[in-house]
Amino acid sequence: MAKATFGAGCFWGVEEEFRKVPGVRETAVGYSGGSLENPTYEDVCTDRTGHAEVVEVDYDPAKTSYDTLLDVFWNGHNPTQLNRQGPDVGTQYRSAIFFASPEQQRIARAYMEQLQAAKTFSKPIVTQVAALQAFYPAEAYHQDYLARHPESMYIVINDLPKLAQLREQFPDLYTAP
């Protein structure tokens, strides 16, 4: 098994983007990239800890590749928005890849450079690519939030359309709606 950690806005929808990818064994939402040990959601929301809301993806490299997870990451959010995604604003909502190995770093940077060179996005990519120092799990009520609250207005407006777009773009990646 291997782990990958991504920040792409509010972690509720991002977690669901990865949960159903074949080969993903488990996901957990939490905080990475900051200076405070064991931060709470309230700490992170002050915008003073430096943490991003992230999803830790536990996956089987024999069943899915890191490149496939990057496909989901790059297509599941807007990597050109600095410190925001949709209605959510603050450094905790930044686009970030926290690599766990030199190989993940190389692959992530190469993928980002290809997207930039191809002018895939109309603006420059602002995604942070940084070494994973620590992953702190978020509070229990944040875990599997979208699966437990699919009718929440936030989810309906902000996350379900992104999930539908990913399913349409990568139909063979998603095992169930």
* Catalytic one of 2, 4, 10, 70: 10
Active site residue 45: no
Integer-rounded Cα Rg, in Å, for the chain is 15
According to DSSP, residue 94 is labeled -
CA atoms within 13 A on the CB side of 42: 0
Give, rounded to a whole angstrom, the gap between the first and last alpha carbons of the chain.
25
Any bridge partners for residue 4, and if so which? 57
Beta strands 88-89; 2-8: pairing state:
unpaired
By annotation, the residues acting in catalysis are 10
